[in-house]
Every structure is written in C-alpha cells, then in structure tokens.
C-alpha cells in the first residue's frame, strides 16, 4: 500500500512538473513575440483600404493615416484623407480610448461596451478594441494547441473584458513573427482573421508592411499598408494627452 501511494505521489509530481514546463514554455514564446514588436516610440505613415466585398478588389475606399505609438499601451491615429474625415483622431491610452470628430468639434470617450464597434466615419473591419494597445501577455492567457517544425499554434483567452472569446495565434519559430491571428466571439464563432504579409526590415526591425483583416461574417476586408516607419524617435507628449491630442 505504501509503495502504491509513493508511486501515486510521484506521478502527481511528474504531471505537475510537465504542466509547469508547458506553461513556462508558452509564456516564453509570448514574451519573445512581444519583445519583437516592442518599441519605445514609433511614427508611421499608412494607407487604410476598406473593401465591402473581400473578393472584389476594384471596389474600395482609401484613407491616409498618420500613427504615433508610445510603449505597449499608448497610440494616436490621425486621418489625413479623405476630406470627409480629415482630422479625425483616435487616442488609446492605457486601455481607455477617445475619438475626436472634426465635423462636430467634439471628443467622445469610448465606453467598454462599444469597443466591438468600428470607428464612426471610418468603417471597415478594425474595431476600437483592435486599434487599442496592450501586449499579448497583458491581454491574453495562452496555451499551446499545436507545434510543428516551423510554427506554434497558440490559443489565447482574454484576461480582461473583451469582445472576443478567444484568439488563435500562429507564431513562426524562425523569428517569432505572427503571420496570422484568428478572432472568435461567443456569438459568431470564428469571426475574423488578421493576416500579416510583406515583411521588411525597417529601422533595423523586421515588420509586416501589409496587414489584412478579413471579416468572415460580413465577407469584407480592410487592408493596412505601411509606407514609412521610424522607431525610438522623440514624440510630443500632447498626442497622448486626452485634453490636448485633438488641438
């Protein structure tokens, strides 16, 4: 009986050790993913193209965007064209978001229940939550679903309030880039895919210069093309101040 009990206890310790190792392993993967994307500051010039029908590449609306980033949680976006939304600005600051609408001259703070919506006047397939900040480790708890010679497939469950029930992330073992992220909701199941393409080295960093958000429910897509980017450069603090970002 004592021998059987010792075998049982030994088995429990082995299982616990294996589970602990797996958890440490996935945490290490996510931290390396976050480290690849981490910058102190960033400035980028981009185009955003919205397609009502993902298969029809001739029907789209194009917008020019200037984007500033600071750390993991803070970002500022300003729409330069078209004229109908010129000057529209979005500030994401440590989980909170504000939008400045130039047509009315008003600033609106985005409520948590509205973060699954797209930006008024912009449309497309990126929601306020998608445009918000936060690292992978900060936003999700991950586990490994699959591992092969080239990549890991990870499943992330949200750590805080989110419009998504889970995400499935593909991580390349070669460079810890994430060429595909699948988004799931309780209501729609597999709802959207974010695909990263055309990786280039910019200011010494390997970055995707083309990002495609596919909405599998609406059959639409939004494409973001990065034209130019600078990292770790000085940025005026006013862009990250809710009282000044729109002035």
pLDDT at 133: 82
Using a pLDDT cut of 70, give the percent of the chain over it: 90
pLDDT at 51: 98
User: What average pLDDT does the segment 119-138 reach?
Assistant: 93
pLDDT at 7: 34
CA angle 165, 108, 220 (to 5 degrees): 45
Asked if residue 5 is part of any domain, the answer here is no
CATH number of 230's domain? 2.50.20.10
Pairing of strands 205-215, 189-202: antiparallel
Asked if residue 129 is part of any domain, the answer here is yes
Residue 193 has pLDDT above 80, yes or no: yes
pLDDT tens per residue across span 164-187: 999 999 999 999 999 999 999 999
Using a pLDDT cut of 90, give the percent of the chain over it: 83
pLDDT at 204: 83
Residue 17 has pLDDT above 60, yes or no: no
Please give the mean pLDDT across all residues of the chain: 90
* 15 vs 109, more confident: 109
Residue 151's pLDDT band (boundaries 50, 70, 90)?
very high
Asked if residue 147 is part of any domain, the answer here is yes
Asked if residue 75 is part of any domain, the answer here is yes
CA atoms within 13 A on the CB side of 3: 0
pLDDT at 219: 98
Which residues, in sequence order, are bridge partners of residue 62?
49
Asked if residue 19 is part of any domain, the answer here is no
Residue 3 has pLDDT above 60, yes or no: no
pLDDT at 16: 38
User: What average pLDDT does the segment 205-210 reach?
Assistant: 93
Per the CB < 8 A criterion, the answer to whether 199 and 208 are in contact is yes
Per the CB < 8 A criterion, the answer to whether 157 and 140 are in contact is yes
Q: How many domains does the chain have?
A: 1
Residue 162 has pLDDT above 90, yes or no: yes
Asked if residue 246 is part of any domain, the answer here is no
Asked if residue 20 is part of any domain, the answer here is no
Residue 120 has pLDDT above 80, yes or no: yes
pTM higher than 0.85, yes or no? Answer: yes
The boundaries of the domain holding residue 124 are 34-240
User: What average pLDDT does the segment 53-60 reach?
Assistant: 97
pLDDT tens per residue across span 82-108: 999 999 999 999 889 999 999 999 999
> 131 Cβ partners below 8 Å, 6+ apart?
75, 77, 90, 92, 97, 119
Asked if residue 233 is part of any domain, the answer here is yes
pLDDT at 202: 86
Residue 1 has pLDDT above 90, yes or no: no
């Amino acid at each position: 009986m004592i021998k059987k009990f010792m075998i049982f206890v030994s088995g429990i310790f082995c299982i616990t050790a294996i589970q602990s190792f797996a958890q440490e392993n996935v945490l290490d993967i996510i931290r390396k993913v976050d480290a690849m994307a981490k910058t102190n500051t960033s400035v980028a010039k981009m185009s955003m193209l919205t397609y009502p029908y993902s298969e029809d590449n001739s029907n789209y609306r194009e917008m020019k965007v200037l984007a500033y980033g600071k750390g993991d949680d803070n970002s500022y976006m300003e729409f330069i064209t078209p004229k109908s939304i010129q000057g529209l600005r979005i500030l994401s600051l440590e989980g909170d978001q504000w939008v400045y609408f130039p047509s009315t001259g008003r600033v609106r703070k985005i409520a948590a229940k509205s973060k699954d919506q797209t930006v008024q006047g912009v449309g497309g397939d990126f929601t306020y939550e998608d445009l918000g900040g936060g690292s992978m480790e900060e936003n999700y708890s991950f586990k490994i679903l699959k591992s092969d010679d080239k990549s890991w497939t990870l499943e992330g469950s949200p750590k805080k309030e989110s419009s998504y029930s889970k995400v499935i992330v593909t991580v390349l073992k070669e460079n810890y880039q994430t060429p595909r992220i699948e988004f799931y909701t309780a209501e729609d199941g597999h709802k959207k895919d974010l695909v990263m393409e055309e990786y280039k080295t910019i200011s010494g960093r390997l970055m995707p210069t083309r990002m495609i958000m596919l909405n599998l429910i609406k059959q639409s897509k939004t494409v973001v093309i990065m034209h130019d980017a600078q990292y770790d450069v000085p940025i005026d603090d006013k862009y990250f101040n809710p009282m000044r970002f729109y002035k």
